[in-house]
Structure 1
């Protein structure tokens, strides 16, 4: 039941205080973001996987609110309340509850109310150094709490973005592929469609309407769609407006007139997405086909390699790190390096900690521009279960 104290509440509190003390000693100010948050902010940025698991309600003023499903977005809002221009470097730490719907039978490792102890860093000039510092501190805190056996699952959304940016394709296709990145099956299906039959999606709509739409004239497209709906006696149902319908149809119309994605470009993207290797082997493997990608992708590989060296120089055993190009965590706001710390006894479905880089999130919640940002959180219930199991 939401709000009930777990049986091991005192042990969790003691562990969380230990973790928070480690973070504070490393220069991260302790903060306590609000538990109740505006729902719109979360539902816009957290991604599909988390959106459907967020507890949303309407308060007595008619405002849609939610119980925070994580502490990263609330900490971003706290930072912006203090620094509206997002022009200051800041380091925050926290310890508190988060709430997510879990299906029946999800198990003790997936409670509906759980605690996160974490850190967030805003405004750093050196992204690679900030990424490495975040992971090193999380690992140090886990180890001091008693976690000795772990492995790291990592990915890098920035590598995928750089590969798409270098590829010769319409921007709308890049957006579509980025949207599908979190769903591998959908990504592969979309790549196949774009490289064979990009016009296929137009088949479900009247050809006369699709042919009449001009991608360079959105206002005219809205009028055409409104007239077509009126002629056919079709009423708008739900939240979509004629302008939104027209925007979607313009993309379909443009696809109907576009040549397919070059097979070599689709093959290059498939080759990257299929990369699953020990972290130390990734850069050499990607460089083997980087010449076909472009300069942006080559720079992203350099950044990956530098971050790995920073981690190794900080004492992280990179032999315990694995890389999967498709790994992006289940939260939609990550833009770069992502990771999860996995304990052998719980497995990959229940990571003990995780985090990553999210340079566009602050702008999405109100900052005047994108801001360099990275953070991570420890799932304290899981950590306690692992540590207790190791001692028993």
Structure 2
């Protein structure tokens, strides 16, 4: 081990201790979720883009496992193991390694094995207060390490869902748009394709196969697709299971009878995702957009305004905070607020902290009910790079 490596490791460890000290002083309990996790839980909830980057393997007992690609899901599973009632209020903090394949090549800002320090809290009934507290705690921890030049970017999946309601969409169109929103960089192109009935995401499969697929008989549908794949020597590649493919193709089959997305609805959604504004004024812009709509999104807007006020009360400088309607995150489990903390020296593709609300994740991890949940993780190697850059 070189002297340079030793010094870097020591500095990273010292930084992590600083972060964890801020977390524990804010009443978060330090926990250590296991690195090896059951693959099925992760692959069901993390989303398509991260699913393809997760290291999955089968052990000698035949169990399919993965190296955790983040620490949020493992912390949910730890909470479930501790509490018979998953709605029991709890706060956890952690520090540990996570693992993701980097399709563009690993580098200092995007290593395959990286370190996260984060917080998760469950069971809070005061939703916006919990969200503001999480954001403020993360920012306070980042500043404690010496980085003062940060900015905060907000998104809101709850507001996006309310806009879909305002647009008067069918359940099928809502699902398709929700799915497309997991790919924010391509969402506007998908919206145009939906409105013109040129959806490029539809797979080219025989019409007879699509016609045989029924959501009411998943077993038979899965068997039909399995037989088709076998007959045509098509192998399952990557992390998509036969049940995943079946679910997707049933959606395609159901969508064949659906009319193209209404142009008025597409225009409303397009104008919404085009909103990028200072956090102080974004709520007014959204309210103006939906003014006069047959069904409003007052509750989601009230939640947004309340959250912004609570962030200010928690000491967050709102002059550093922007709202971007198209910001939706690629993690499939987020359900409401999403946010990222950026450092100017690293650019928008390398946020130093990310987080948000994920009320449905506990159910996906094995609970019988949804649980209010919000958290965030700091990418400590990026924070170290940004901190060193700011001090040089």
Question: Under a length normalisation based on structure 2, what TM-score does the superposition of the two structures give?
Answer: 0.87
User: How far apart, CA to CA, are the structure 2 residues paired with 1:87 and 1:214?
Assistant: 37
User: How far apart, CA to CA, are the structure 1 residues paired with 2:58 and 2:242?
Assistant: 28
* Structure 1 residues 218 and 277: alpha-carbon distance in aligned structure 2, compared to 1, 3 A threshold: same
Q: Which stretch shows the higher mean deviation, 266-275 or 344-353? A: 344-353
* Structure 1 residues 288 and 203: alpha-carbon distance in aligned structure 2, compared to 1, 3 A threshold: same
* Structure 1 residues 89 and 6: alpha-carbon distance in aligned structure 2, compared to 1, 3 A threshold: farther
User: How far apart, CA to CA, are the structure 2 residues paired with 1:321 and 1:357?
Assistant: 18
* Structure 1 residues 102 and 312: alpha-carbon distance in aligned structure 2, compared to 1, 3 A threshold: same
> After the TM superposition, which residues 1-392 of structure 1 pair with which residues of structure 2 at under 5 Å, given as runs?
8-103=8-103, 105-184=105-184, 186-197=186-197, 218-219=216-217, 226=224, 234=231, 237-238=234-235, 251-293=251-293, 295=295, 297-392=297-392
Gap regions ≥5 residues in structure 1: none
**3-state DSSP of counterpart to 1:350:** coil
**3-state DSSP of counterpart to 2:78:** helix
Q: Which stretch shows the higher mean deviation, 238-247 or 192-201? A: 238-247
User: How far apart, CA to CA, are the structure 2 residues paired with 1:241 and 1:355?
Assistant: 28
Q: Is the 8 A contact 1:268 1:293 kept in 2?
A: no
* Structure 1 residues 208 and 196: alpha-carbon distance in aligned structure 2, compared to 1, 3 A threshold: same
- Please provide the CA RMSD for this pair: 3.3
User: How far apart, CA to CA, are the structure 2 residues paired with 1:375 and 1:82?
Assistant: 18
* Structure 1 residues 172 and 391: alpha-carbon distance in aligned structure 2, compared to 1, 3 A threshold: same
User: How far apart, CA to CA, are the structure 2 residues paired with 1:203 and 1:95?
Assistant: 41
User: How far apart, CA to CA, are the structure 2 residues paired with 1:60 and 1:253?
Assistant: 39
Gap regions ≥5 residues in structure 2: none
* Structure 1 residues 46 and 294: alpha-carbon distance in aligned structure 2, compared to 1, 3 A threshold: farther
User: How far apart, CA to CA, are the structure 2 residues paired with 1:326 and 1:151?
Assistant: 17
Q: Is the 8 A contact 1:118 1:378 kept in 2?
A: yes
Shift of 1:31: 0.5
Instruction: State the Cα deviation string for residues 39-73 of structure 1 (Å, max 9, x = none).
Output: 11111111122112222222221211111111111
* Structure 1 residues 11 and 209: alpha-carbon distance in aligned structure 2, compared to 1, 3 A threshold: closer
Q: Is the 8 A contact 1:221 1:250 kept in 2?
A: no
User: How far apart, CA to CA, are the structure 1 residues paired with 2:26 and 2:36?
Assistant: 28
User: How far apart, CA to CA, are the structure 1 residues paired with 2:17 and 2:241?
Assistant: 50
Shift of 1:248: 5.5
Question: Under a length normalisation based on structure 1, what TM-score does the superposition of the two structures give?
Answer: 0.87
Q: Which stretch shows the higher mean deviation, 235-244 or 164-173? A: 235-244
**3-state DSSP of counterpart to 2:327:** coil
**3-state DSSP of counterpart to 2:32:** coil
Q: Is the 8 A contact 1:273 1:325 kept in 2?
A: yes
Shift of 1:336: 1.0
Shift of 1:112: 1.7
